[in-house]
Structure 1
Amino acid sequence: MTSCEVGNDPFLITADQVGKLSKETRVSQLGEIYKQDSIVNRRFDSTYIFGGNEIEIYETSGNQLLRLDPKTPGDTASRIGDIRILDPAFKTEKGLSTRSTYKEILENYTIKKIENTITDAVIFLEEIPAYITIDKKHLPTIFQLSTTHKIESSLIPDNAPIDQFWIGWE
């Protein structure tokens, strides 16, 4: 597989693509896809952390582009499962990036659900397999102190910045 099979824009995010990667990309293909960049494979094996690994992609300039989680840790034949978008150059067709605000999400996407975690509101989108976090420090105090209260879309300020932007392929 070559990057041109996925698409011409090396920073476009769609339901089936994140830049040079597609839903079908295997860990073993990363070296060829990112041959001009640096790939760092971090493995976790300890009593306190479930075994697994993360793969980090860096430009030659040192700028981190993506963090990848294989579906099957340690298996080079595995497909990519989750991708954390780190570089703001990555954007959806509607312009959503790591520099976007909640208002931009609302104006361009349908929210499937919002989960209340310890530190974040996790927003799942309908049109693309994305989940986006917004730090709860941007929410009313009642949500900052609890995970039991349901976060309604209307209670998230328009100017709340995206904290993390993930694509999750099944």
Structure 2
Amino acid sequence: MSSIKKVILGLFLVLFITGCMEATEDETINGYKLPPQPDETLNNSTLLGIDSNNNGVRDDVEIWVIKKYAKADYPKIKTGIAMQWGATAQQVIQNPQTAYADKKYMLINRAQDCESYAYYQKLKKVGHYSIDNDIFNEEYVDKVFNTKERIKAYYLFNANLAGHMYGATMSHPSKCDFDIDAIKE
């Protein structure tokens, strides 16, 4: 092998190793350790994407959530709620054709009840809650259901729930997938 090829190969290896070290560098925000940023093409090539830490939330969504709410009012509570919505979104698009039979609407109810508890009980925002405070909003939906396959699965989930009767549920801290009452902020 010529010396030029060896130099180029050496530079490539240095750049590759340096790039890998940057990709695995730990970043923690408000106590949340961010997963590595997934490759966008690979992440969007499957319905469920990449969840490297197996917490039920796609890595790109998790990073976005943690960074979005890092400097918000009540950042840990809002991040917890948004993470619950992220896990819920992942679950509802899995086998959406059996959404009603699998009672996946209960996941939506839990996330809504957790968010409602946060605003009306935990944060005492009765009368001050507005659509601007809603975490599972249009921006969130656009982030989570960001491919044709994910949008189709979400529409199929909704279509399979259409026409059924659902009872009212109550907001309560037990509906949160995290200990909301232990958070002091």
TM-score (ref. length: structure 2): 0.24
**Higher RCO (CA 8 Å, separation ≥ 6 residues):** 2
Which structure has greater strand proportion? 1
TM-score (ref. length: structure 1): 0.25
Task: State the structure with more CA Rg.
Answer: 2
Which structure has greater helix proportion? 2
